[in-house]
Amino acid sequence: METQIEQARKNVITPEMSKVADQEGLTPQWICKRVAEGRVVIPANPNRKNQNAVGIGFGLRTKVNASIGTSSDIACFDLEIRKAKVAEEEKADTLMELSTGGNLDEVRRKILENCSLPVGNVPLYQAFSEATRKYHNPNKLDSEYLFELIERQLEDGISFMAIHCGINRYSIERLRNQGYRYGGLVSKGGTFMVSWMEYNNCENPLYEQFDRVCGLMKKYDAVLSLGNGIRAGAIHDSHDRAQMAEMVINCELAELGRDMGCQMMVEGPGHVPLDEIEGNIMLEKRMSGGAPYYVLGPLPADSGAGYDHITAAIGAANAARYGADLICYITPAEHLALPNEDDVREGIRATRLAARIGDIAKYPERREQEKKVALTRRDTNWEEHFNLLMFQEKAESVRRSRSPENKKTCTMCGDFCAMERGKSLFEGDIKGDKIGSV
């Protein structure tokens, strides 16, 4: 079986490319060209039927990922299924299943059965969780088992994987030489891999046998997302030597993987001050040859716990503006607890709004929708106005809860409604459609 990128290089337009083109309002030929270049990826493992086709990359709408999964403290499979359904209902584009508690094969398969979004995961989570249960020491993980596990997860239908190939002895040495970090190590998979390498005095097998990793991903046409295992967990660690060493390696591997016919993404930070977001994305795009960039947040402050979905939305809007392609949401529970259904809902909404804001700046033609919203607000055409909003039900419920006496206005201004007074002053201009520069 040939991968999407291999077929695109032969000018073969796959059904998935056609579906993405239709969603994005572009031609299938345009999508095919970008897939061939490696600037667009389509996670679509053929072992999984009835999953949505989603394009991620250059020239496309910025996509939003929702992450769910059990933990060693809370392992309720029904809760995770409900969270997956909330993610789909709230229009997330992709889903990551990141469980570490309970029967990990079972929960993964249940999520795949109950969701139509492309599903990704981090294979190191299950590998180290099972090594901990079996040996009471995750550092005793058998590296051969890791490759067996990756294939088992792909056979189940996982369409993209965050695999920590960019951590090697060199990047660990940078971390040690700089005197560790303010925010420590925050990636579970990354930290366990560093620990395994130090304990066994071995190179990372995912780096050392990168061609083997790509071979497995190609077999199932899954997207290899090069994990950011040494990402910054504090803004004072942003772009330190350890993070940059891993970023350089991941960008090199993205190019190598594409040359092998594997669909590739690069993952990014983490905690990044607002003024560094543009530079971070420019570096990834330049060094990777335009590989799609999948970023967590980023969070431009460390002190927003409880409202980190807002912290991250501010970073995400800027990331989308400057060229990030897939944004992993942050929920209000970030840094505090395992998210529940309400956290998932709020996290997706905040991140979708951030992505929309970024896309409005990145693609000026996408401002037409905002113009329609503005005109219906100006004309107090509430029914049409609600139909145009991203979160129609929420807006309608707020209005119903505080309904005005004059149905044309709202209870914010009541009799002093600026929109109604403005219309009476400029009614002739409105009827004559004399808006000059809109």
Residue-by-residue DSSP string for 27-39: -HHHHHHHHHHTS
pLDDT in tens, 302-320: 999 999 999 999 999 999 9
Residue 408 has pLDDT above 60, yes or no: yes
In a domain, 436, yes or no: no
Task: Looking at the structure, tell me whether residues 358 and 397 fall in a common domain.
Answer: no
Task: Looking at the structure, tell me whether residues 291 and 417 fall in a common domain.
Answer: no
Q: Which residues pair with 56 in a beta bridge?
A: 41
Dist. CA 127–CA 141, nearest whole Å: 7
In this prediction, residues 426-437 reach a mean pLDDT of: 62
CATH number of the domain at 241, please.
Answer: 3.20.20.540
Task: Looking at the structure, tell me whether residues 239 and 358 fall in a common domain.
Answer: yes
Please say which residue of 327, 362, 397 terminates a domain. Answer: 362
Task: Looking at the structure, tell me whether residues 28 and 50 fall in a common domain.
Answer: yes
Dist. CA 227–CA 409, nearest whole Å: 50
Please say which residue of 315, 336, 362 terminates a domain. Answer: 362
DSSP labels, 67-92: EE---SS---HHHHHHHHHHHHHTT-
Please say which residue of 362, 388, 403 terminates a domain. Answer: 362
Task: Looking at the structure, tell me whether residues 73 and 140 fall in a common domain.
Answer: yes
Dist. CA 332–CA 391, nearest whole Å: 18
Question: How many structural domains compose the chain?
Answer: 2
Q: Which residues contact 269 (CB under 8 A, 6 or more apart)?
A: 228, 231, 232, 238, 243, 280, 295, 296, 297, 298
In a domain, 352, yes or no: yes
In a domain, 273, yes or no: yes
Q: Which of 123, 241, 239, 141 is nearest to 188 (CA)?
A: 123
Task: Looking at the structure, tell me whether residues 373 and 347 fall in a common domain.
Answer: no
The burial class, CB within 10 Å (0-12 / 13-18 / 19+), for 433 is: exposed
In a domain, 55, yes or no: yes
Give pLDDT, residue 438.
43
Q: Over the range 189-199, which residues count as b (16 or more CB within 10 Å of their CB) and which as e? A: bbbbbbebbee
Task: Looking at the structure, tell me whether residues 176 and 325 fall in a common domain.
Answer: yes
pLDDT in tens, 393-404: 999 999 999 999
Helix axes 123-135, 143-156, angle to 10 degrees: 130
Task: Looking at the structure, tell me whether residues 307 and 409 fall in a common domain.
Answer: no
User: 370 lies in which domain range?
Assistant: 366-431
In this prediction, residues 417-427 reach a mean pLDDT of: 87
In a domain, 437, yes or no: no
C-alpha 65: how far from its chain's center? 4
Dist. CA 24–CA 14, nearest whole Å: 16
pLDDT band at 337; cut points 50, 70, 90: very high
Phi/psi of residue 258, each to 5°? -60, -40
Task: Looking at the structure, tell me whether residues 147 and 75 fall in a common domain.
Answer: yes
Dist. CA 217–CA 211, nearest whole Å: 10
Dist. CA 137–CA 141, nearest whole Å: 8
Task: Looking at the structure, tell me whether residues 386 and 350 fall in a common domain.
Answer: no
pLDDT band at 424; cut points 50, 70, 90: confident
Task: Looking at the structure, tell me whether residues 216 and 170 fall in a common domain.
Answer: yes
H or E element at residue 430 = helix 427-431
In a domain, 81, yes or no: yes
Task: Looking at the structure, tell me whether residues 371 and 296 fall in a common domain.
Answer: no
For residues 74 and 102, is the Cβ–Cβ distance under 8 A?
no
The angle formed by the CA atoms of residues 60, 154 and 34, to the nearest 5 degrees, is 25
